Amino acid sequence: MTIARGMLISIEGIDGSGKSTLVRHLAKQLQTYDCSVVTTKEPGGSSLGKLLREILQHQPVALMSRAEYLLFAADRAQHMDEVIKPALKSGAVVISDRMADSSLAYQGYGRGEDLAMINTINVWAMQEIKPDLTFYLKIEPEEAIERLKKRTTLTAFEKEQTGFVKRLITGFDEIFRDRDNVITLDGTLSPEEIAESATQAVMQWATARELRGKQGEINGGR
Protein backbone atom coordinates (compact mmCIF):
# COMPACT_ATOMS: atom_id res chain seq x y z
CA MET A 1 0.00 0.00 0.00
CA THR A 2 0.95 3.64 -0.30
CA ILE A 3 0.35 6.43 2.18
CA ALA A 4 -2.40 8.51 0.65
CA ARG A 5 -1.98 11.65 2.73
CA GLY A 6 0.92 13.49 4.29
CA MET A 7 2.51 12.10 7.42
CA LEU A 8 5.04 13.63 9.82
CA ILE A 9 7.56 11.38 11.54
CA SER A 10 10.18 12.53 14.04
CA ILE A 11 13.25 10.54 15.07
CA GLU A 12 14.50 11.23 18.60
CA GLY A 13 17.27 10.07 20.89
CA ILE A 14 20.63 11.06 22.32
CA ASP A 15 23.63 11.79 20.11
CA GLY A 16 25.12 8.56 18.85
CA SER A 17 21.86 6.62 19.04
CA GLY A 18 21.61 6.16 15.26
CA LYS A 19 18.98 8.75 14.34
CA SER A 20 20.53 9.91 11.07
CA THR A 21 21.10 6.32 9.99
CA LEU A 22 17.46 5.48 10.69
CA VAL A 23 16.27 8.49 8.69
CA ARG A 24 18.20 7.27 5.64
CA HIS A 25 17.18 3.63 5.94
CA LEU A 26 13.53 4.36 6.72
CA ALA A 27 13.26 6.72 3.76
CA LYS A 28 14.72 4.09 1.47
CA GLN A 29 12.33 1.44 2.78
CA LEU A 30 9.24 3.64 2.45
CA GLN A 31 10.16 4.55 -1.11
CA THR A 32 9.76 0.88 -2.02
CA TYR A 33 6.07 1.36 -1.17
CA ASP A 34 5.89 4.18 -3.74
CA CYS A 35 5.75 6.79 -0.99
CA SER A 36 6.90 10.33 -1.65
CA VAL A 37 9.44 10.90 1.14
CA VAL A 38 11.07 14.13 2.34
CA THR A 39 13.95 13.85 4.83
CA THR A 40 14.96 16.83 6.94
CA LYS A 41 16.50 17.72 10.30
CA GLU A 42 16.61 20.17 13.17
CA PRO A 43 18.55 22.31 13.21
CA GLY A 44 19.46 22.78 9.56
CA GLY A 45 16.43 21.73 7.52
CA SER A 46 15.62 25.25 6.35
CA SER A 47 17.74 27.98 4.78
CA LEU A 48 17.85 29.85 8.09
CA GLY A 49 18.45 26.58 9.91
CA LYS A 50 21.66 25.92 7.99
CA LEU A 51 23.10 29.15 9.40
CA LEU A 52 21.81 28.51 12.91
CA ARG A 53 23.14 24.94 12.84
CA GLU A 54 26.71 26.22 12.62
CA ILE A 55 26.20 28.46 15.64
CA LEU A 56 24.41 25.82 17.71
CA GLN A 57 26.61 22.85 16.95
CA HIS A 58 30.00 24.59 17.15
CA GLN A 59 29.12 27.53 19.44
CA PRO A 60 31.81 30.02 18.35
CA VAL A 61 30.52 32.21 21.18
CA ALA A 62 29.33 30.99 24.56
CA LEU A 63 25.54 30.58 24.61
CA MET A 64 23.45 30.83 27.73
CA SER A 65 20.94 27.96 27.81
CA ARG A 66 17.91 30.18 27.13
CA ALA A 67 19.56 31.75 24.11
CA GLU A 68 20.54 28.28 22.94
CA TYR A 69 16.92 27.14 23.13
CA LEU A 70 15.56 30.26 21.42
CA LEU A 71 17.89 29.69 18.47
CA PHE A 72 16.49 26.17 18.18
CA ALA A 73 12.98 27.63 18.37
CA ALA A 74 13.76 30.10 15.58
CA ASP A 75 15.04 27.25 13.43
CA ARG A 76 11.91 25.22 14.28
CA ALA A 77 9.53 28.01 13.26
CA GLN A 78 11.28 28.52 9.93
CA HIS A 79 11.57 24.78 9.39
CA MET A 80 7.83 24.29 9.89
CA ASP A 81 6.83 27.03 7.47
CA GLU A 82 9.50 26.50 4.82
CA VAL A 83 9.84 22.71 4.74
CA ILE A 84 7.32 20.72 6.80
CA LYS A 85 3.99 22.32 5.89
CA PRO A 86 4.59 22.41 2.12
CA ALA A 87 5.77 18.79 2.12
CA LEU A 88 2.75 17.60 4.12
CA LYS A 89 0.43 19.56 1.84
CA SER A 90 1.92 17.76 -1.16
CA GLY A 91 1.10 14.42 0.50
CA ALA A 92 4.67 13.44 1.32
CA VAL A 93 5.90 11.41 4.27
CA VAL A 94 8.23 13.78 6.14
CA ILE A 95 10.96 12.23 8.31
CA SER A 96 12.75 14.70 10.57
CA ASP A 97 15.94 13.99 12.49
CA ARG A 98 14.85 15.69 15.75
CA MET A 99 11.96 18.03 16.44
CA ALA A 100 10.43 19.75 19.48
CA ASP A 101 10.97 16.87 21.92
CA SER A 102 14.73 17.31 21.61
CA SER A 103 14.48 20.79 23.08
CA LEU A 104 12.45 19.48 26.01
CA ALA A 105 15.15 16.87 26.63
CA TYR A 106 18.28 18.93 25.92
CA GLN A 107 17.43 22.42 27.13
CA GLY A 108 14.77 21.28 29.63
CA TYR A 109 16.11 18.18 31.35
CA GLY A 110 19.71 18.66 30.19
CA ARG A 111 20.17 22.39 30.86
CA GLY A 112 17.46 22.82 33.50
CA GLU A 113 15.32 25.37 31.66
CA ASP A 114 11.58 25.67 32.28
CA LEU A 115 9.80 22.74 30.62
CA ALA A 116 6.40 24.44 30.46
CA MET A 117 7.85 27.51 28.75
CA ILE A 118 9.78 25.38 26.25
CA ASN A 119 6.62 23.43 25.46
CA THR A 120 4.57 26.62 25.01
CA ILE A 121 7.09 28.12 22.58
CA ASN A 122 7.42 24.80 20.74
CA VAL A 123 3.67 24.64 20.15
CA TRP A 124 3.65 28.23 18.89
CA ALA A 125 6.71 27.75 16.64
CA MET A 126 5.23 24.58 15.14
CA GLN A 127 1.81 26.18 14.60
CA GLU A 128 0.27 23.41 16.74
CA ILE A 129 1.36 20.74 14.26
CA LYS A 130 2.66 17.56 15.93
CA PRO A 131 4.37 14.47 14.57
CA ASP A 132 2.00 11.65 13.69
CA LEU A 133 4.63 9.16 14.85
CA THR A 134 7.82 9.51 16.86
CA PHE A 135 10.54 6.86 16.94
CA TYR A 136 12.69 6.98 20.07
CA LEU A 137 16.02 5.22 19.64
CA LYS A 138 16.95 4.01 23.12
CA ILE A 139 20.60 3.37 23.88
CA GLU A 140 22.78 3.44 26.98
CA PRO A 141 25.08 6.48 27.35
CA GLU A 142 28.23 4.35 27.43
CA GLU A 143 27.38 2.80 24.06
CA ALA A 144 26.59 6.19 22.55
CA ILE A 145 29.85 7.68 23.82
CA GLU A 146 31.84 4.79 22.32
CA ARG A 147 30.20 5.43 18.97
CA LEU A 148 30.95 9.15 19.17
CA LYS A 149 34.63 8.46 19.82
CA LYS A 150 34.85 7.10 16.27
CA ARG A 151 33.85 10.43 14.74
CA THR A 152 36.54 12.82 13.55
CA THR A 153 34.73 15.96 14.70
CA LEU A 154 32.17 16.43 17.46
CA THR A 155 29.49 19.05 18.00
CA ALA A 156 29.20 20.97 21.26
CA PHE A 157 26.45 18.59 22.38
CA GLU A 158 28.42 15.47 21.47
CA LYS A 159 31.24 16.68 23.70
CA GLU A 160 29.02 16.77 26.78
CA GLN A 161 29.89 14.54 29.72
CA THR A 162 28.10 11.35 30.82
CA GLY A 163 26.07 13.15 33.51
CA PHE A 164 24.47 15.39 30.90
CA VAL A 165 23.72 12.41 28.66
CA LYS A 166 22.07 10.54 31.53
CA ARG A 167 19.82 13.55 32.18
CA LEU A 168 18.83 13.47 28.51
CA ILE A 169 17.85 9.80 28.72
CA THR A 170 15.82 10.50 31.86
CA GLY A 171 14.20 13.37 29.99
CA PHE A 172 13.27 11.38 26.90
CA ASP A 173 11.92 8.56 29.09
CA GLU A 174 9.74 11.04 31.00
CA ILE A 175 8.56 12.90 27.90
CA PHE A 176 7.53 9.75 26.08
CA ARG A 177 6.13 7.77 29.00
CA ASP A 178 2.44 8.43 28.29
CA ARG A 179 2.56 9.22 24.58
CA ASP A 180 0.52 6.86 22.42
CA ASN A 181 2.26 7.98 19.21
CA VAL A 182 5.81 7.08 20.36
CA ILE A 183 7.51 3.82 19.46
CA THR A 184 10.71 2.96 21.33
CA LEU A 185 13.31 1.09 19.29
CA ASP A 186 16.41 -0.73 20.52
CA GLY A 187 19.30 1.40 19.26
CA THR A 188 21.77 -1.48 19.64
CA LEU A 189 20.16 -3.53 16.87
CA SER A 190 21.49 -3.40 13.32
CA PRO A 191 20.40 -0.43 11.15
CA GLU A 192 18.50 -2.84 8.92
CA GLU A 193 16.57 -4.39 11.82
CA ILE A 194 15.70 -0.99 13.25
CA ALA A 195 14.54 0.32 9.87
CA GLU A 196 12.41 -2.77 9.25
CA SER A 197 10.65 -2.35 12.62
CA ALA A 198 10.09 1.34 11.94
CA THR A 199 8.77 0.68 8.43
CA GLN A 200 6.25 -1.87 9.66
CA ALA A 201 5.09 0.55 12.34
CA VAL A 202 4.59 3.32 9.76
CA MET A 203 2.58 1.09 7.46
CA GLN A 204 0.46 -0.20 10.35
CA TRP A 205 -0.24 3.38 11.42
CA ALA A 206 -1.18 4.35 7.85
CA THR A 207 -3.50 1.34 7.56
CA ALA A 208 -5.20 2.21 10.85
CA ARG A 209 -5.65 5.82 9.73
CA GLU A 210 -7.21 4.69 6.47
CA LEU A 211 -9.62 2.42 8.35
CA ARG A 212 -10.57 5.24 10.71
CA GLY A 213 -11.24 7.46 7.71
CA LYS A 214 -13.47 4.86 6.06
CA GLN A 215 -15.33 4.28 9.31
CA GLY A 216 -15.86 8.02 9.62
CA GLU A 217 -17.30 8.14 6.10
CA ILE A 218 -19.70 5.29 6.95
CA ASN A 219 -20.81 6.94 10.20
CA GLY A 220 -21.13 10.31 8.50
CA GLY A 221 -23.34 8.86 5.82
CA ARG A 222 -25.87 7.47 8.26
Residue 206, classified by CB atoms within 10 Å of its CB into exposed (0-12), middle (13-18) or buried (19+), is: buried
pLDDT band for position 161 (50/70/90)?
Answer: confident
Q: Give the closest residue to 201 by CA, choosing from 182, 188, 175, 186.
A: 182
CA distance 199 to 97: 16
The residues pairing with 41 across neighbouring beta strands, listed in sequence order, are 97
Is the pLDDT at 218 greater than 80? The verdict is no
Is the pLDDT at 152 greater than 80? The verdict is no
Burial per residue of 70-101, b for 16 or more beta-carbon CB atoms within 10 angstroms, e otherwise: bbbbbbbbbbbebbbbebbeeebbbbbbbbbb
pLDDT, residue 125, reads 97
Tell me the three state secondary structure of residue 94. Answer: strand
pLDDT, residue 148, reads 80
Residue 132 neighbours by CB distance under 10 Å: 19
186 — phi, psi (to 5°)? -75, 110
pTM of the entire structure?
0.89
Mean pLDDT of the chain: 90
Sorted by sequence, the CB contacts under 8 Å of residue 146 that are 6+ apart come out as none
Q: Give the closest residue to 134 by CA, choosing from 164, 172, 106.
A: 172
Q: Which CATH number fits domain 7-216: 3.40.50.2300, 3.40.640.10, 3.40.50.300, 3.40.50.150?
A: 3.40.50.300
Is the pLDDT at 41 greater than 80? The verdict is yes
* Range 74-80 average pLDDT: 97
Residues for the chain: how many in total? 222
The rounded percent of the chain whose pLDDT value lies above 90 is 70
Eight-state DSSP code of residue 15: T
Give the E-state strand segments of 2-98 in sequence order.
7-12, 37-41, 93-97
Stated as kind and residue range, the H or E segment containing 1 is: none
pLDDT digits (tens, 9 = 90+) for 94-136: 999 999 999 999 999 999 999 999 999 999 999 999 999 999 9
Q: Give the closest residue to 134 by CA, choosing from 104, 165, 161, 166.
A: 104
pLDDT, residue 222, reads 52
CA distance 49 to 135: 22
Indicate the range of 57-61, 68-72, 171-175 predicted with least confidence: 57-61
pLDDT, residue 7, reads 94
- Contact indicator for 1, 177 with CB cutoff of 8 Å: no
pLDDT band for position 194 (50/70/90)?
Answer: very high
Is the pLDDT at 176 greater than 60? The verdict is yes
Choose between 15 and 86: higher pLDDT.
86
Q: Give the closest residue to 185 by CA, choosing from 136, 118, 151.
A: 136
pLDDT band for position 144 (50/70/90)?
Answer: confident
Indicate the range of 63-72, 132-141, 146-155, 201-210 predicted with least confidence: 146-155
